[in-house]
């Protein structure tokens, strides 16, 4: 029961909408009504600027780190994976915003930073290269998510981490389904473009 409580706590931590909070603190209206409507750091950057986007990004990363840490303390690798997944689900479907949240990239990034730091370095490099070449943040996120389970298998991660990587990759790509549609239609905003 105690460990189940930790999972619920990690979901609630993941549900903290830092992008919503910091955009409001900097005097912007509801982030859900601006730009893409996504409650994530990229939309905050486009609509409220770096002053709100940077703390939002850091907050989202910390959610993943804290959840993985709590899970590890509760019961090792398997519990770390479950608690990490709970936090990313919380970010994507936050109870505090009627289950309409972000796309999970930064929170998943915090998870990978804590549990699989070598893989984070590879995924970050992939993300940066794709964004530099294409100027699409969403495409960088999608390709990095797709590569995540592949890297987890190639680098011989524990089975629970591999399962977690498959789950997080699926969730992040699923949350980007509208971006995928806009990319196919040539309507996706590039980095630096205002919504």
Domain count, the chain: 1
Asked if residues 140 and 173 have their Cβ atoms less than 8 Å apart, the reply is no
Query: Domain for residue 190, yes or no?
Result: no
**What pTM was computed for the model?**
0.92
> Distance from first CA to last CA of the chain, Å, rounded?
46
What pLDDT, in 10s, does the model give residues 1-53? Answer: 677 899 999 999 999 999 999 888 887 677 888 777 788 888 888 888 888 88
Query: Which residue, among 54, 94, 59, 66, has the nearest Cα to 10 in the 3D structure?
Result: 66
- Sign of the four-CA dihedral 27, 31, 36, 38: positive
Query: Domain for residue 30, yes or no?
Result: yes
What pLDDT, in 10s, does the model give residues 126-141? Answer: 999 999 999 999 999 9
Query: Domain for residue 99, yes or no?
Result: yes
Residue 104 reports pLDDT greater than 70: yes
Residue 166 reports pLDDT greater than 80: yes
- Sign of the four-CA dihedral 48, 52, 57, 63: negative
Query: Domain for residue 20, yes or no?
Result: yes
| DSSP one-letter string for 151-190 | HHHHTT--HHHHHHHHHHHHHHHHHTHHHHHHHHHT-PPP
Query: Domain for residue 192, yes or no?
Result: no
Cα separation of 165 and 5, whole Å? 23
Crossing angle for the helix pair 117-134 and 105-115, nearest 10 degrees?
140
Domain residues for 106? Answer: 2-185
Residue 174, token pair as written in the block: 């699923």
Query: Domain for residue 193, yes or no?
Result: no
Mean pLDDT of the chain: 92
Query: Domain for residue 195, yes or no?
Result: no
Residue 195 reports pLDDT greater than 70: no
DSSP 8-state class, residue 192:
T
Mean pLDDT of 50-69: 94
Q: Kindly report the CA angle at 12 between 177 and 147, in degrees rounded to 5? A: 35
pLDDT for 193: 67
How many residues does the structure list for the chain?
Answer: 195
């Amino acid at each position: 029961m105690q460990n189940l409580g930790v999972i619920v706590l990690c979901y609630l931590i993941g549900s903290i909408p830092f992008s919503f909070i910091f955009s409001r603190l900097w005097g912007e209206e509801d982030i859900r009504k601006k730009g893409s409507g996504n409650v994530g750091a990229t939309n905050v950057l486009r609509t409220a600027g770096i002053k709100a986007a940077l703390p939002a990004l850091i907050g989202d990363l910390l959610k993943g780190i804290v959840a993985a840490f709590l899970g590890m303390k509760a019961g090792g690798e398997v519990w770390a994976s479950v608690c990490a997944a709970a936090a990313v689900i919380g970010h994507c479907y936050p109870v505090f915003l009627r289950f309409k949240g972000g796309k999970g990239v930064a929170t998943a990034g915090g998870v990978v930073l804590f549990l699989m730091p070598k893989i984070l370095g590879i995924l970050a490099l992939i993300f940066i290269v794709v964004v530099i070449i294409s100027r699409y943040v969403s495409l960088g996120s999608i390709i990095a998510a797709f590569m995540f389970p592949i890297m987890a298998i190639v680098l011989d991660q524990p089975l629970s981490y591999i399962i977690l990587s498959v789950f997080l990759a699926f969730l992040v790509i699923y949350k980007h389904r509208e971006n995928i549609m806009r990319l196919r239609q040539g309507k996706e905003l590039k980095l630096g473009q205002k919504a």
